[in-house]
Every structure is written in structure tokens, then in C-alpha cells.
């Protein structure tokens, strides 16, 4: 029996969310704001971008039909780069259900988004579409160009160093240069700095970005490499005349 062809990924309009006809009558549609939607024959429930789709699930429905979501996930296997399960939490005892669905999403490479009302779910759908072509600048940390901000950004990139630590360093040493030239003991004397944090800080300041072999060691290593490659000739073994007494 021939395999059933996968439904195509429909290219949406410039600003429209594509909606599977099975979602017709879903009260969620009335909460989609600032963006249009249109019905189309698509595999997921909603398509909010050329590579992004959404499956909708109510916990109240999932409690009655736990097999439903597995069939919906199967229909979008191999489709879309970002696949979202939009879950509306409309039951009181929800912890176990959310834990179970999170596990299902991890196994099937889905992102789970939990909304507590239909209004909130509508905001998520609308935002995904509105931000389809937006750059990630809005969620990136902004680093000001002043000296303190750049110093804070540099030091907090070191594992274990937080903003409070940067303020401590600045108040004790005054400048980036003084911090870089501080001895391990001077750093250990600062509040909040233990041996591990000091070691990471000194490694970041002193170790090269790329490990290199020092000039003094390089000739010795090259000689050793050449010697290991050159094989010694096999020794000349004398002919042995051995008689075996088998009696």
C-alpha cells in the first residue's frame, strides 16, 4: 500500500494566520487581534509563518480524549521548523497533565506554550504572526556604550560572575586594567570571591583565546615527532641450527 502523501506547507498571506477548518467555531478565533486569519487546508491547527505552526489543545478536552494529541502530532511530523503546542489550562488539577504534555513535546520536538485563558492564547497566536519577520533585537540584552556598562557586560560573560561582583571589583580596583593586573590573593580578599571564581576570572584575563605551543617547546616537540615517525631497522638475527628430539 502506497504511503499517504504529506499535506503541503501552505504559503500564508503577508499578514494572515492560516486556520485549519476543524478549528471553525473555536472561541479562540474571536481573541485574535491586530492580524487577519483565513481558513486553509493545512496539517496543523494554525500556521503563523512559513516555517511555524501551532496545535491547539484544551486541557479539559485532553482529559476526556488523551489520544487526540498524538494523532495531531503525527500529522505534522517532518513539517515546519518551529512546532508549537498551544495549551489552554482550563482545569483546576493541571500539574500532572502539563508534566505529561511537556514530556510528549520534548519527545516530538515541539515547543509548549501554556495559556490560562482563551484571551491569552489569542495574544500568543497574534504575536507569533506579528513578529514573524521581526529581528531578535527586542529580546537581546541592550549594552550601553558607557564605560561601566561595557565593563559589566564583559565581566558577566565569565561563568559565575554576576553584576554585584562587577560592582565589587570596580569599587576595589577602580578600572579594568587594575582588575586585569590584580593578583589572585587581592581578588580573594574581595567579598563574594572564592577560589573557583578567582580562577575563572584569571583564566579569562590571562589565558590565550586559542591554545598555542610556546616557542621553547615547539622544537622539542617537532624532534620527538620526527623520531617517532622514523622506524629503526630490524636487527640481523643469527641463523640458529636447532634439532628437536621428539622421542
pLDDT tens digits, one per residue of 107-136: 999 999 999 999 999 999 999 998 888 877
**What pLDDT sits at residue 89?**
93
The parent domain of residue 176 ranges over 147-204
**pTM exceeding the 0.85 threshold for the entire prediction:** no
* Pair (53, 26) in one structural domain: yes
Report helix angle 68-75 to 95-107, nearest 10.
30
3-class state of residue 16 by DSSP: strand
Q: Are 180 and 186 in contact (CB under 8 A)?
A: no
Query: Partners of 114 in the beta sheet?
Result: 87
* Pair (128, 154) in one structural domain: no
* Pair (162, 118) in one structural domain: no
**What pLDDT sits at residue 237?**
58
Grid coordinates of 236: 640481523
* Pair (66, 162) in one structural domain: no
* Pair (172, 119) in one structural domain: no
- Least confident interval from 81-90, 111-120, 136-145, 176-185: 136-145
* Pair (61, 111) in one structural domain: yes
Amino acid at each position: 500500500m502506497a504511503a499517504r502523501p504529506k499535506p503541503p506547507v501552505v504559503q500564508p498571506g503577508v499578514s494572515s494566520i492560516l486556520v485549519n477548518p476543524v478549528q471553525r467555531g473555536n472561541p479562540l478565533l474571536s481573541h485574535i487581534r491586530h492580524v487577519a486569519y483565513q481558513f486553509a487546508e493545512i496539517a496543523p491547527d494554525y500556521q503563523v509563518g512559513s516555517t511555524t505552526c501551532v496545535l491547539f489543545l484544551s486541557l479539559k478536552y485532553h482529559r476526556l480524549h488523551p489520544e487526540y494529541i498524538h494523532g495531531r502530532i503525527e500529522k505534522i511530523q517532518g513539517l515546519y521548523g518551529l512546532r508549537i503546542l498551544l495549551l489552554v489550562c482550563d482545569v483546576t488539577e493541571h500539574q500532572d497533565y502539563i508534566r505529561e504534555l511537556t514530556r510528549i513535546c520534548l519527545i516530538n520536538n515541539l515547543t509548549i506554550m501554556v495559556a490560562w485563558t482563551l484571551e491569552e492564547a489569542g495574544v500568543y497566536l497574534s504575536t507569533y504572526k506579528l513578529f514573524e519577520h521581526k529581528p531578535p533585537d527586542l529580546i537581546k540584552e541592550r549594552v550601553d556604550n558607557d564605560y561601566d556598562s561595557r565593563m559589566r557586560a564583559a565581566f558577566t560573560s565569565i561563568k559565575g560572575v554576576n553584576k554585584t561582583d562587577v560592582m565589587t571589583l570596580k569599587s576595589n580596583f577602580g578600572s579594568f586594567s587594575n582588575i586585569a593586573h590584580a593578583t589572585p590573593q587581592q581578588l580573594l580578599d574581595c567579598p563574594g570571591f572564592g577560589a573557583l571564581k578567582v580562577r575563572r576570572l584569571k583564566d579569562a584575563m590571562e589565558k590565550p583565546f586559542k591554545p598555542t605551543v610556546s616557542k621553547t617547546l615547539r622544537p622539542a616537540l617537532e624532534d620527538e615527532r620526527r623520531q617517532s615517525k622514523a622506524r629503526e631497522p630490524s636487527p640481523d638475527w643469527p641463523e640458529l641450527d636447532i634439532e628437536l628430539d621428539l622421542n
